[in-house]
């Protein structure tokens, strides 16, 4: 039960973190998401990870139903592709990438860009909106405790 | 130069990843973002990290201008607060949290929720929109190589 490593183990965010496992695992998923699928050798080359570490990370991501290992037509090779659960990390990919572009480009041209496939235009900065459509900023968030089911909620 | 650990070191996403450093560092920043600021002892208790590891992670995050270490009025204590750069990771916090809630709650009530401070209502699922306002899905993204400045772009 990897979940034990996070203090608040009933928190869904903590569970999600534990399912991803570690930083390298997130990078593996984001690399695969960007390309649709990847072979082991491609991941190893692009991420520069040791084989045994990459093997262990991929196994955990498959066990957690974030990636699936699929046989390829040619030879005995496999590729790793995102499951629905893995694919739904795409919004994390975009927000992390936009953050990196904002703070680590310094006016340089990045080597590649994430674009809208239909128009080839960059994805505009992600907007966070309230249920009533108001644009939110980081100061507009609060964390509230939820009462157990069946009792009134505190707000 | 930590950047060496990622293959494509000119990619701003890779630079952003290297600045964050590792998974625990991201968890530290997200914990601080949720609460506005945190003392060392609180972080240690909530994340269950060894003191020397937490110390090293916090130092790197301060060096990278993602967190700042501020003296507290009472006694010799300090707290860690997000800088503008760290605060701008708030969209990553939201997308990772919504992913965790979607896949790891299984109908259970989470212990806490991230809400709109003004109304107390949950933040709706983040929408990714194209420059022309179209709602995008994960299949609508493409990665294109950028040419060096001064040359035409491939699209």
Q: State pLDDT tens for residues B37-64.
A: 899 999 998 888 899 999 999 999 999 9
ipTM over cut 0.90 = no
Q: Assign residue A150 a region (left: φ > 0; alpha: ψ between -120 and 50; beta: otherwise).
A: left
Residue B65 pLDDT > 50: yes
Cβ pair A13:B96 closer than 8 A: yes
As given in the structure block, the two tokens for residue B67 are: 């967190």
Pick out chain A residues at pLDDT < 50: 1-7, 152-155
Instruction: Name the one residue in this structure whose structure tokens are 């929109």.
Output: B129
Residue from the list B12, B27, B115 with its beta carbon closest to the beta carbon of A104: B12
Q: How far apart, in whole angstroms, are the C-alpha atoms of residue A41 and residue A55?
A: 11
Looking at the complex, report in whole angstroms how far the Cα of residue A80 sits from the nearest Cα belonging to chain B. 17
pLDDT band at residue B150 under the 50/70/90 scheme: low
| 3 state SS of A148 | coil
Q: Which of A63-67, A143-147, B9-13, B91-95 has the lowest mean pLDDT?
A: B9-13
Instruction: Name the one residue in this structure whose structure tokens are 């609180």.
Output: B42
Looking at the complex, report in whole angstroms how far the Cα of residue B128 sits from the nearest Cα belonging to chain A. 6
Task: Give Cα A128 distance to the centre of its chain.
Answer: 18
More confident residue, B146 or B29: B29
- pLDDT score recorded for residue A154: 44
More confident residue, B6 or B146: B146
Three-point CA angle B142, B146, B150, nearest 5°: 150
**What is the pairing mode between strands A141-145 and B38-39?**
unpaired
Residue from the list B48, B123, B129 with its beta carbon closest to the beta carbon of A130: B123
- pLDDT score recorded for residue B149: 54
Say what the pTM is.
0.83
| Residue B51 per-residue DSSP state | H
């Amino acid at each position: 039960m990897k979940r034990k490593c996070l203090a608040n183990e009933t928190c869904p965010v903590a569970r999600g973190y534990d399912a991803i496992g570690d930083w390298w695992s997130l990078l593996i998923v984001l690399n695969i998401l960007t390309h649709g699928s990847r072979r082991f050798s491609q991941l190893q080359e692009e991420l520069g990870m040791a084989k045994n570490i990459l093997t262990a990370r991929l196994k955990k991501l498959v066990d957690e139903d974030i990636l699936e290992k699929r046989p390829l037509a040619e030879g005995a090779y496999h590729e790793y592709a995102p499951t629905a659960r893995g694919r739904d990390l795409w919004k994390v990919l975009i927000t992390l990438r936009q953050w990196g572009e904002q703070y680590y480009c310094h006016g340089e041209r990045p080597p590649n860009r994430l674009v809208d496939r239909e128009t080839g235009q960059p994805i505009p900065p992600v907007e966070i909106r309230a249920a009533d459509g108001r644009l939110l900023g980081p100061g507009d968030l609060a964390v509230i405790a939820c009462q157990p089911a069946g009792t009134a909620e505190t707000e």
